[in-house]
Amino acid sequence: MNRPEEIKARLDNISQIEGIVGALRAIAAGHQQEARHHLDAVRAHEATVAGALARALATGPAPAPGLRVGGRALLIVSGAAQGFSGDYSDQISKAALSGQTTDLDLMVVGHRTLQTLSEKTPPDTIVWSADMAPHMAEIPALASRTVDAALSLVAQGSHDRIAILFADAEPQGQRLIRRTLVPFDFGRFAPHPGSRAQTTLSRPDLLAALAEEYVFAEVCEALMLGFASESAARAAAMARAQTNVRRISSDLTRLFSQARQEQMTTEIIELSTNRT
């Protein structure tokens, strides 16, 4: 028979765990909502750049993408920063390595996913890494550093293709998206004459600058969605943990009552049979 004191100690421990789980769930849910709020601003910026590209393209033919034969590919992975998010990081890692070829290198955002991929890939496969931004306000700066690092490799001539892998938790639940960034597809933007803007840049330089800014906006959006998706996965994992903790707490409460009753019954029997 379990002693009531031992069961009570376990109950106290479970109560503390429940408090921690509840706090983690609340923080994750708050981060998810905050990310969704910031997405509006990111997408507004993306739409503004798209509009500028449409007007710039109306002044002449769209540039051909052009690929250097033998160039390597880069995949930016928007992964998980921490644990306690179920199998979210494993899903991201599995998708990153799905169909992997010998000419693919990885740029990984998120310490947790970096650890997983480091164990499953050759040492030189991961060419750059960074931890996920802890707050929404820091994601644009992280996106800027990520784009600068990727385009620097392209400028060096070692890579000529860039894609990004990220998760989107809404509206149909967690889904993984792989989006091509480079070569830049100008064909996505229908030329729109509008009013002719004054610029000091040549047309090729203007299109190149707008394309780079649009890539930045896409990476910023992807990292924001990845942050929200990790938070959603953590909130769901903590909700499951909360359910299990409450079930265990209920079972322990029942066991404590039984053990205490049995202890009291034993003491009463001993007292009633004790002869002085």
CATH number at residue 205: 3.40.1380.10
Residue 148 lies in a domain: yes
Output the CA angle 114-118-123, nearest 5 degrees. 130
Of 215, 197, 179, 201, whose CA–CA distance to 49 is shortest? 215
Residue 70 lies in a domain: yes
**Dihedral angle at the C-alpha atoms of 237, 238, 244, 249, nearest 10 degrees?**
170
Distance CA(261)–CA(254), nearest Å, equals 11
Compute the residue count for the chain: 276
User: Based on the structure, what is the number of domains in the chain?
Assistant: 1
* 72 Cβ contact partners less than 8 Å away, ≥ 6 residues apart: 103, 104, 105, 158, 159, 160, 161
Q: What is the pLDDT of residue 237?
A: 85
Handedness of CA 44, 46, 48, 54 (dihedral sign): negative
- pTM of this prediction? 0.81
Output the CA angle 260-263-267, nearest 5 degrees. 140
Residue 200 lies in a domain: yes
Residue 230 lies in a domain: yes
Residue 151 lies in a domain: yes
Q: What is the pLDDT of residue 275?
A: 61
Residue 220 lies in a domain: yes
Q: Domain residues for 179?
A: 28-234
Q: What is the pLDDT of residue 191?
A: 84
Residue 252 lies in a domain: no
Q: What is the pLDDT of residue 76?
A: 97
Residue 138 lies in a domain: yes
Q: What is the pLDDT of residue 210?
A: 94
The DSSP letter of residue 133 is P
Distance CA(89)–CA(81), nearest Å, equals 9
pLDDT (tens place) for every residue of the chain, 276 residues total: 468 788 888 888 888 888 888 888 887 777 777 877 788 889 999 999 999 999 888 888 878 765 455 578 999 999 998 878 888 888 999 999 987 677 899 999 999 999 999 999 988 899 999 999 888 889 999 999 999 999 999 988 889 899 999 999 876 667 899 999 999 999 889 887 766 667 788 888 999 999 999 999 999 999 999 988 888 888 888 888 888 888 888 888 888 888 788 888 877 887 777 665
**CA-derived radius of gyration, the chain:** 28
